[in-house]
Amino acid sequence: MSRQVLQSFPKCWSVRESPPSRCRGNIPTDDSGMCPVDNVGTRCADWAWGTRHHEMSIAVRAVHLLAACAAVATCGAPFVAPDSNIKAGRWGGPHVAMIVTPERTDIEFDCGHASVDGAIPLDRDDAFTATGTFLQERPGPTRPEGPPRRPMRLTGGVKNDTMNMRVTLTDQNDDLGSFTLAFGADARLVKCK
């Protein structure tokens, strides 16, 4: 028996001693009124430890039973793939170019550019909603401070390597339009002049 177990049951009775009516751990005495004897003739906590081990075994069985019930309960549920993010890399299409990294997404339009901090998560239906900022580009001279950045929302979905995306400027609910992008495709931009 380990030292730690013996420390939790410090009193062992020899065969010659008279033990209490109940042994340590509230274990009843045997028919002779003695605690169980170990293999060296000492009445000790081994028997109590065995009972505790048995109680632990019951707890382990209960956990296994609960896990089996949970597995049976979910057998009829459809398998749902874990949510993921938009695939990192270059996406392109008419009037839009997008570079996706795990840390940031940069989007270039004909007359503006936008950014989204962090990865853009996809739900179980491969749809997404993300917020970021949009900066309008105009032809000709600009002020030193430039135009203000505006809040925007991207919504859409991804199917295989094709993305459909709608861009809305949320401060005035301006719809910038819908765009279709393909993974790895070149953008076809017509920049403002």
Looking at the structure of the chain, the number of domains it has is: 2
Residues 12 and 91 in one domain: no
Residue 17 lies in a domain: yes
Contacting residues for 131 by C-beta, under 8 A, at least 6 apart:
116, 151, 152, 153, 154, 170
| 77 pLDDT tier (thresholds 50, 70, 90) | very low
Both 104 and 177 in a single domain? yes
Residues 105 and 179 in one domain: yes
Question: Does residue 88 share a domain with residue 69?
Answer: no
Is residue 25 in a domain?
A: yes
In a domain, 192, yes or no: no
Q: Are residues 60 and 112 in the same domain?
A: no
Which residue type occupies 32? S
Which residues constitute the domain of residue 28? 3-73
Q: Are residues 111 and 176 in the same domain?
A: yes
State whether 93 and 176 are in the same domain.
Answer: yes
Is 115 in contact with 107 (CB distance < 8 Å)? yes
Answer whether residue 189 is part of any domain: no
| 131 and 62 inside one domain | no
The pLDDT tens digits for 44-62 are 444 444 444 445 567 667 6
- State whether 21 and 109 are in the same domain: no
Q: Model confidence over 129-179: pLDDT tens digits?
A: 999 999 998 776 777 777 889 999 999 999 999 999 999 999 999 999 999
- Residue with the larger pLDDT of the pair 7 and 98: 98
- Would 193 be classed as within a structural domain? no
Q: Does the pTM exceed 0.75?
A: no
* Domain identity same for 11 and 44: yes
Contacts for 178 with CB less than 8 Å, ≥ 6 apart: 164, 165, 166, 167
